[in-house]
Amino acid sequence: MINTTQLSFFTLAGYFDTGRVTYLCFIVILALYIFIVGSNVLLIVVICVNRSLHEPMYMFLCSLTSLFPLLLLHIICDINIISASLCYLQIYCIHCYGSAEYLNLAVMSYDRYLAICFPLHYNTYMTPKRIAILIAITWLYAILACALMISLSSTLPLCGNIIDKVYCDNYSVIKLACSDTKALNIYGIIIVLCTVCCPLIFMLYTYIKILRVCSSGSKQVRQKAVTTCSPHLACVLNFSCGACFEILQSRFNMSGVPILLRIFLSLYWLISQPLLNPLVYGLNMTKIRILFLHDDPRHTFSKEFLGFGYTLSQP
């Protein structure tokens, strides 16, 4: 029997010999990595530098990012072994990111709900202090919940050290356990309910309220609501689909699926959101687009609809 006191490494069996295309894979993933980092940093800099973008919807974007640099090291060095301590650290970072990301999306839906349903009171409800509190609670919950999860998982006695993925995840480690994991499974269900189910129900509630307001509003109000909510909806659907792929691959036997597809599904939910965020918000958010396309100092911003939606006007 192998237990955590003797275990020094895990084998990531999801990797395969890329042979002659090793460097090509490395270059492609490196280019993708640079684009993700560069685009997210650029978006955050634009948000922070321009006072006209200092609003809740844009400030929430600053905490939506994730990086996965170890993949590059494993590919270029042809390494499929990871130390136990680094494996648990990777599990913590990945699950902390996933929890915080989903809760952030729920908070952003609340922001859009207030902007559309209560435009006259929007600035009263969404004060800088309240924004900071919401973001702090989101990350504090993710940090503490994942820390408790790792403390429980790392004490499990293990009967093996082979993880059939290209990175470590908590459920893959639990499947290697020799002892009863009932308590950990119950805790996992509670985490899923608090982190996924409750935010999803809340987002559904906010959009039902938004649809009711739009159905009784003017055509202009409906157009502005669609413009405002479509980037957020795209991110929710994208991240939810990626999370579903990850859950299906972890819970069910995927040996019949081609290995390249399995690797893609493993990485999709980790890299898709930070890759999509700059594209969706950077291209669709009117104020960010205007800053890049209309660099004319004679132009000024004027609010056309309180809380959301902006147009250009000249003095």
Domains identified in the chain and CATH numbers: 9-294 (1.20.1070.10)
Looking at residue 201, its pLDDT comes to 92
Q: Which residues of the chain have pLDDT under 70?
A: 1-6, 14-22, 50-72, 74-76, 78, 255, 281-315
Looking at residue 59, its pLDDT comes to 56
Strand positions, DSSP E, 107-256: 162-163
Looking at residue 51, its pLDDT comes to 60
Looking at residue 1, its pLDDT comes to 42
Looking at residue 10, its pLDDT comes to 86
Looking at residue 311, its pLDDT comes to 33
**Structure tokens of 270?**
């980790």
Looking at residue 313, its pLDDT comes to 32
